[in-house]
Amino acid sequence: MLKTRIIPCLDVKDGRVVKGVRFEGLRDAGDPVEAAKVYDAAGADELCFLDITASREARGTLLDIVSRTAEACFMPLTVGGGVRTVEDVRALLLAGADKVAINTAAVKDPDLVARAAEKFGAQCIVVAIDAKRVSPPGAPASWDIFTHGGRDPTGIDAVAFARLVAGKGAGELLVTSMDKDGTRSGYDLALTRAISDSVSVPVIASGGVGGLDDLVAGVAEGGASAVLAASIFHFGQASVAEAKAHMAAAGLAMRLDGPASSARTPL
Amino acid sequence: MSTETVAIIDYGSGNLHSAAKAFERAARESGHAARICLTADPEVVAAADRIVLPGVGAYADCRRGLDAVPGMVEAMTQVAHRDARPFLGICVGMQLLATRGLEYTTTPGLGWIPGDVGPIKPSDPTLKVPHMGWNTLRPARDHALLAGIPIGEDGLHAYFVHSYALSPESPDDVVARADYGGPITALVARGNVAGTQFHPEKSQRLGLALIANFLNWRP
């Protein structure tokens, strides 16, 4: 049986993890490769790097991190942030990413998704959708796409956009609620559900996890195939193993193979 | 034991360093003296003791990449058929063993494991495609590549990411299946040629154990 995936996400800026990961025995809390190794050993189902470096010049740093991670971790890796062209996708895949997430560029040019999927296969093209609720209170819920970290409205309906890019060949959608991101009040389950019900590709719920019940709700109520979280794992509030045990106890099918290899475990 | 050479064929299909590192680690952990070699040189492939054909991307694109290396398909055919050396296809590399692929367009495969590679159509319409993530394996028959690996519903998991799957003409070629709204061919083998739909190099414990088994396989 296919299992629900737990995906820790690391925000990377100029080659460093933005909010350091707090793990026992971690030599360098800001080194994305070190953090990746810990999550590999902890049994994470995938890992996501989101590059928030502003400059294009620092691109080589990201590629180096991806390459060193892929050589050290035998787990799937998704990388996003600043992907604008088919060449950007190719460079990340060649560096060792298994999947590449396209965000703003897919909003500007949805055909980029088609070109990338035809070249590399739909299975490695993720479209990252950042959405905010725009419906007035009491009205049926609707969400629009926002770019640039939730600052710039596009006026594009998030559910319609999800259908569009899935049709263009996106193999997976990473759906982040910009209303919920950083609030620790749980995913926007209505948003996750609205998109999950509208497309035939897997949806990753993202933005707002405050506790382990939020992960359960993302799947049970949101209809997500995978749940992404950052701070609850990075700051040791919960281990990946605890999250899996909690979700399994709630009746979700989880992969409980145990640690991949070495001894180092999250706090 | 003399050192064996394992050739991982590099034909421009994605990053292979991760695969190479996984083979190196599996060799080290299983005490197997193997030299892992990423190569685009048909002569290196022809001389290798074991051959791995990876593959990520669209079927037609992978086939084009393989054909673009002069002499590579001939070298692969020689080692796999004339010399009967252990040969492992991974993901699209496994799909290329089939007669043809039906992704975007009809593309001829190598035809070593007769069958077509067609779109996954789960019987349950709520199941998402691609089949993406960790799934368990259901054995169809015993095979050296699965020796000592706990599989089945309570066993270890393999990492899949694909929208198309191989349907072998002969059920005898199937070693293990995954279940995803119907059976998905996960591991095939015919003689000295085998292939995994999942990614052993991304499948942590199960993957490293399967790679170690491949390094010790004497078909």
Q: Which long-range contacts (CB under 8 A, 24 or more apart) does A149-156 make?
A: A149/A52, A149/A178, A150/A178, A150/A181, A154/A107, A156/A107
Active site residues of A: 11, 130
Please tell me if residue B15 touches chain A, with a CB cutoff of 8 Å: yes
Distance CA B212, CA A156 (A): 50
Higher pLDDT, B129 or A236: B129
Reduced DSSP (H G I as helix, E B as strand, rest coil) percent helix, strand, coil of chain A, to 5: 35, 20, 40
List the Cα angle A149/A152/A153 in 5-degree steps.
120
Task: State the average pLDDT over residues B45-59.
Answer: 93
**Share in percent of chain B as helix, strand, coil (round to 5):** 30, 30, 40
Whole-number CA gyration radius for chain B = 16
CA distance B114 to chain A (A): 23
What's the mean pLDDT in B69-90?
97
Q: Which of A1, A2, A195 to mutate to test the interface with B (most CBs of B within 10 A)?
A: A2
Percent of chain A at pLDDT > 90 equals: 73
Q: Which residues contact A60 (CB under 8 A, 6 or more apart)?
A: none
Bridge partners of residue A49, in order along the sequence: A10, A79
Whether A262 shows a pLDDT value over 80: the answer reads no
Q: Are strands A125-133 and B193-196 parallel, antiparallel or unpaired?
A: unpaired
Q: Are the C-beta atoms of residues A106 and B51 closer than 8 Å to each other?
A: no
Is any Cβ of chain A less than 8 angstroms from the Cβ of B18? yes
Mind listing the pLDDT tens digit for each residue in A128-186?
999 999 999 999 999 999 988 778 899 999 999 999 999 999 999 999 999 999 899 99
Residues of A in contact with B22 (CB under 8 A): 74
Are A180 and A187 contacting, i.e. CB atoms less than 8 angstroms apart? yes
Q: Counting one residue from A and one from B, how many pairs have CB atoms under 8 Å apart?
A: 124
**Looking at beta carbons, which pairs linking A108-113 to residues 24 or more positions away fall under 8 Å?**
A110/A161, A110/A164, A110/A165, A110/A168, A111/A168, A112/A84, A112/A85, A112/A86, A113/A165, A113/A168, A113/A169, A113/A170
The 10s digit of each residue's pLDDT in B35-48 is: 999 999 999 999 99
Tens digits of per-residue pLDDT, A13-45? 889 988 656 666 666 778 999 999 999 999 999
Question: Is the confidence at residue A267, as pLDDT, over 70?
Answer: no
Give the separation between CA A135 and CA A164, rounded to whole angstroms: 21
Q: Summarize the confidence of residues B58-71 as an average pLDDT.
A: 93
Question: Could you tell me whether strands B100-101 and B107-108 are parallel, antiparallel, or unpaired per DSSP bridges?
Answer: antiparallel
Instruction: Residue B162: list chain A partners with CB under 8 A.
Output: 123
> Residue B162 and residue A75: Cβ atoms within 8 Å?
no
- DSSP label at B113? S
User: Which residues of chain B neighbour A123 with C-beta distances below 8 Å?
Assistant: 130, 132, 161-163
What pTM did the predictor assign?
Answer: 0.94
- Tell which of B204, B210, B211 to mutate to test the A interface (max A CBs under 10 Å): B204
Average pLDDT, chain A: 91
Token pair 């490293």 is at which residue?
A: B208
So what's the pLDDT on residue B2? 74
Q: Considering only alpha carbons, which residue of chain A is nearest residue B182?
A: A1
Indicate which of A7, A37, A74 best probes the interface with B, i.e. most B CBs within 10 Å of its own CB.
A74
Query: Is residue A6 a contact partner of residue A212, using CB atoms and an 8 Å limit?
Result: no
